[in-house]
Amino acid sequence: MPNSQPDYLSTRHYGTYALITLVMVAAMLAWHAWKSTGNFREYHQQLAVTSVTGAADELEFLLSELQRSMRVFANDKRSLLEEVASDPDNDAIWARLESTVQGHFPEYYGLTLTNRSGDVMRPDFDNEVDELCQRDIHTFIEDGYSQQGYIHPNPMGYHFDVMVPWGDADNPQGVFFLSFPPDILARVLKRIQSPGHALLLLRTDEVDLIEVSGEGTRTELQRDFTLSSDELARILYSRNIPNSRWDLVDLPDEQLFRSEALRNAGYAAVVFCTFAAVGLLMLQQLSRKEQRRLQAEEQALQHQADLAHVDRINIMGEMASGLAHELNQPLSAISTYCQAGLRIIDSFNDKPAKLVHALEQASMQSQRAGEIIRRIRRFTGKGMVRRKPIDINRVIHNAVSYIDTEQKRKGVKLVLELADGLPAAIADEIHIEQVILNLLHNAIEAMFSGSDNTRILRVSSKLASADTLQVTVNDTGPGLDAAMHNSIFDTFYTTKKNGMGLGLAISRSIIEAHGGQLWADPGAGAGATFHFTLSVAAA
C-alpha cells in the first residue's frame, strides 16, 4: 500500500506557502500604502513651501510697489498736494486730487493728506479715514515714516493703508495716505494657492485671526474668522511678510491627507483581495491537480502491487503444477509398487498383518500426496482470472511504460505498431500485462546476450480474425534454435544464470486460461518472435 504521509504533508505545505505569501503581500501592500501616503504628504509639504514663498514674495512686492508708486506720485504731484494743503476745504481742489489719485490707483478705497504732525487736513473724509487710521498715521510719523501694514475695519469695510511722506525728502510736509481693499491681496492668494490648500494671511499679533483668504476678507469668509487649534496644528508652512503685521500660512483641507490615506488603503485592499482571490483559485487548481496526481500515483502503485501479487501467485501455481507433473510419476510408482507388494503377500498362507497394514498405508499416503499437490495447483491456478472487456493497445502502453527507463538507458529502440480501432478483448488486464512484460523483459535480455548491437524491440497488435486479436513481440536477439523452440515453454526451462524458467510457462498458462494461444516462431539468428491471441469481447 502507498504511504500517504508525504503526500498529505506536501498538500499542507502548499497552504502554508500560500499563507506566508499572502502575509508577505499584505505587508508589502501596507508598506506601499504607508509610503505613498508619506510621499503624498511630503509632496504637499513642498507645495505649501513653494506657494507660501511665492505668494509672500508677491505680496511683499505688491506692498513695496504701492509705496514706491505713491512716493513717485507724491513727488510728481507735489504742487497739487501743496494746493490741497493750502486750502483743504476747497472741494474743487480736493475733487481734482481724488480724480488724479483715481487715475493712478484705480483700486484705492480712501485717501487723505496730513500735515507734519499727522493731523488730517480734511476732517473725517466722509468717514473713510477713521480714528484707527489717524492713530496709525501718527505712529507712522513717530516711527520715522516706517509702516507695518495690516488690515483693519472702519465703518465702510475692511481695508489696508499705505502711507508715504510728501514734500521734501529730508523735510516731509506730512503724510500722503491711501487705503486699499483687501481684495488686491485675496486675488494673489487665490491665484497662487494649490488645489486642496488655502493660503491665509494671519495677524502676527493674533495668530489665529484670519485677515484675508483666497475668498476675500472677513466679510467674504464662508467660515469662522479664527482658526481652531486643530487647524493651527495642520498648518504646513508659514512665513512673515516683511513690513507688515501678516503671517502667510498654508492650511491644507481637512480631508486632503485623510482621503489620500483612505484611497491608498482602499487600493491596497483591492490589490490584496484580487491577489488573494487569484492565489486561492490557483491553490485550488493546484490542490486538485495534486489530488489527481496522488490518485494516479496511488492507482499506479496499486497496479504494480496487483502485478506483483499475480506474479507471485502465478509462480506458485506454475511451481505446484511443475512439481505435480514431476512428482506424479514417482508417486504413482510408489502406489503401484505397494499394490504389487500387497498382491505378493496375498499369495502367502501366513500373511504378516503388520506388513500388509504398512503397505496399505504407504499406498494411501502416496495417493494423498498426489491429491494435495493437485489441490495446491487448483488453488493457485486459473481461479484468479477476472475477465472483462479491455483495450489491448492501452495494456501494451501500460506494460511498455514499465520498461521505458530500462529500454532508454540500455539504448534499445522501441517500435510500436498498434492497429487502430481494435475491438475490446475479453481478458484479465493484470494477467495480460504480466504476459506482455515477460515477453518484453525476455526480449531485452536476449538482445544483450548476443554480440549484435542493433537492438530493436517491436510490439504490434492486429485483428487476426473476426473474433481474435493477436499481439506480437519481436526482437533482434539471437532467436531460438530448434532445441530451444521445443523447450522454452517447459516449466523450469532456462538458459539464464539466475533464471527460474517459469516466465514463458506461466505466460502460456495465462493465455490458455483465457482461451488463447501463445507460441514462438522457430529460427535462430533472425531474432525471436512471440505471438499470443485473445478472444474479442462480445458486442
Figure out which of the listed residues 500, 513, 517, 523 binds ligand ADP, where binding follows CB under 6 A: 500
Residue whose entry in the numeric block shows the C-alpha cell 467660515: 223
Q: Please list, in sequence order, all residues whose beta carbon lies within 8 angstroms of the beta carbon of residue 537, skipping any fewer than 6 positions away.
A: 388, 389, 390, 423, 424, 425, 426
Q: Which stretch binds ligand ADP (CB under 6 A): 205-213, 227-235, 313-321, 498-506?
A: 498-506
Rounded-to-10 torsion of CA 46, 47, 49, 50: 120
Q: Which stretch binds ligand ADP (CB under 6 A): 37-45, 145-153, 297-305, 497-505?
A: 497-505
> Judged by CB, which is closer to ligand ADP: 19, or 526?
526
d(C-alpha 185, C-alpha 189), whole Å: 6
Q: Where are the beta strands (DSSP E) in 401-536?
A: 413-418, 425-427, 456-465, 468-474, 479-480, 518-520, 523-524, 529-535
> Judged by CB, which is closer to ligand ADP: 303, or 441?
441
488 binds ligand ADP (CB under 6 A): yes
Figure out which of the listed residues 4, 325, 496, 515 binds ligand ADP, where binding follows CB under 6 A: 496
* Coil/strand/helix, residue 172: strand
Instruction: Please give the residue whose beta carbon sits closest to ligand ADP in the complex.
Output: 503
Figure out which of the listed residues 15, 330, 499, 525 binds ligand ADP, where binding follows CB under 6 A: 499
* Coil/strand/helix, residue 169: coil
Smallest gap from Cβ 441 to ligand ADP, in A, equals: 7
- Determine contact, residues 503/442, Cβ cutoff 8 Å: yes
Tell me, residue by residue from 503 to 522, as one string, x for binding to ligand ADP by CB under 6 A and - for no binding. xxx-----------------
Instruction: Please give the size of the binding site for ligand ADP, defined by CB under 6 A.
Output: 22
Smallest gap from Cβ 516 to ligand ADP, in A, equals: 18
Count of residues making up the chain: 539
Figure out which of the listed residues 495, 512, 515, 526 binds ligand ADP, where binding follows CB under 6 A: 495
Alpha helices, DSSP H, located in 91-175: 91-104, 131-142
Which has the closest alpha carbon to 318: 434, 400, 437, 398? Answer: 434
d(C-alpha 510, C-alpha 427), whole Å: 10
> Judged by CB, which is closer to ligand ADP: 209, or 484?
484
Query: Could you say which residues in the range 401-460 bind ligand ADP, by CB under 6 A?
Result: 438, 442-443, 446
Q: Which stretch binds ligand ADP (CB under 6 A): 13-21, 37-45, 64-72, 492-500?
A: 492-500
Smallest gap from Cβ 284 to ligand ADP, in A, equals: 49
Smallest gap from Cβ 459 to ligand ADP, in A, equals: 12
> Judged by CB, which is closer to ligand ADP: 118, or 501?
501
Figure out which of the listed residues 367, 460, 472, 494 binds ligand ADP, where binding follows CB under 6 A: 494
- DSSP type of residue 156: T
Figure out which of the listed residues 34, 267, 493, 519 binds ligand ADP, where binding follows CB under 6 A: 493
d(C-alpha 103, C-alpha 109), whole Å: 13
- Determine contact, residues 112/159, Cβ cutoff 8 Å: no
Residue whose entry in the numeric block shows the C-alpha cell 539464464: 496
Question: Which three cell numbers mark 363?
Answer: 499406498
477 binds ligand ADP (CB under 6 A): yes
- Determine contact, residues 126/97, Cβ cutoff 8 Å: no
Q: Which stretch binds ligand ADP (CB under 6 A): 287-295, 370-378, 386-394, 502-510?
A: 502-510
476 binds ligand ADP (CB under 6 A): no
Question: Which three cell numbers mark 420?
Answer: 487502430
Contacts to ligand ADP by CB under 6 A: 438, 442-443, 446, 475, 477-478, 480, 484, 488, 493-496, 499-505, 528
